[in-house]
Structure 1
Amino acid sequence: MNWQIKVFDELTKIKLYNIIKERINIFVVEQNCPYPELDNLDQQCYHLFSETNGEIKAYCRILPKRLKYDEVSIGRVIVKEPYRRKGLATELLSKAIEFINNELVETEIKIQAQDHLQGFYGSFGFQPTSNVYLEDGIPHVDMEIIDKQN
């Protein structure tokens, strides 16, 4: 699988357009959840994605420490529908965590997970750190990988 990680300024206009298009298709249209997809955080994030011929197959963004939380965060995790149930989400999360551990030299990671995905994120070592709450009408839970060295 061809994975790329880029800061905002390294994204071409067409790559950025394709990423945002897929995020809107999944989070707003597919999940029937009207919310402000563009939140002024993308400009300071790392963007991890896999594409073929311009088609975004899987994507997430990595938020540096203190941008949204005290910890590094992974967000906007998507796999385009035709590529689901093929291990792409597992590969995506593995690559994101590897980048955070090796390049950002961070071991604590916080996410807002959809409640039904707790088991998936738990398989990477994420533990729930909040009760379930509604975020844009969808049950979510905060989860973290806590620094194992402390």
Structure 2
Amino acid sequence: MSLKIEVKKFSELKLTELYDILQLRSEVFVVEQDCVYQDIDGKDQEALHVIGYKNDKIVAYTRCFKPGYYFEEAAIGRVVVKHSERKFGYGHDIMKASAKAIEEEYQTSNIKLSAQQYLIKFYESHGYKTTGEGYLEDGIPHIAMIKN
């Protein structure tokens, strides 16, 4: 079953969608990865939200930012796929949709992200290259990656 993708600004999100997005992010980033951090960081209002639905349930998500907001380049963050849905390749679908949304909304294909290091090969498969040294973000090894 393919993923149904919607791209929305914060003001276009329904309350139930926002709730489901925050629940998915918490389920994966806080509970599954056992990482206590401030997910609700005040940046969602400035983001473009790329949402992947399967049977009307949110199972994949990213948030994207215009160049100059998060990094000099456009940015993709909070890349998440529900654990039970990862075997279907939805991570690839949501990343392709996010790059397309950035190109359409911000007219650029120059994108930077902060990748969890164990996912380097996944991001490389989408054309990203590591840059700089690795670092800890919320106790998890990360590295910056850029796609031009």
Q: Same fold (TM over 0.5)?
A: yes
- TM interval, shorter chain, is over 0.9
Q: Matches of residues 1-150 of structure 1 in structure 2 within 5 Å?
A: 1-52=3-54, 54-146=56-148
Extract structure 1 runs of 4+ deviating beyond 4 A: none
Of structures 1 and 2, the one scoring higher in RCO (CA 8 A, sep 6+) is 2
**Aligned partners of 2:98 and 2:66: how far apart in 1?**
12
Contact 1:15/1:54, CA 8 A, preserved across alignment: no
Deviates more, 1:46-55 or 1:74-83: 46-55
Report the number of matched residues. 146
**Aligned partners of 1:69 and 1:56: how far apart in 2?**
27
Let me know the Cα RMSD of the aligned residues.
1.1
Deviation of the 1:55 alpha carbon: 2.2
Deviation of the 1:101 alpha carbon: 2.0
Is there any run of 5+ residues in structure 1 with no aligned partner, and where?
none
Deviation of the 1:110 alpha carbon: 0.5
Contact 1:59/1:79, CA 8 A, preserved across alignment: yes
Q: TM-score, normalised by structure 2?
A: 0.94
Q: TM-score, normalised by structure 1?
A: 0.93
**Aligned partners of 1:137 and 1:59: how far apart in 2?**
22
**Aligned partners of 2:4 and 2:41: how far apart in 1?**
27
Q: Which amino acid is 1:89 matched to?
A: G
**What percentage of residue pairs aligned between the two structures are identical?**
37
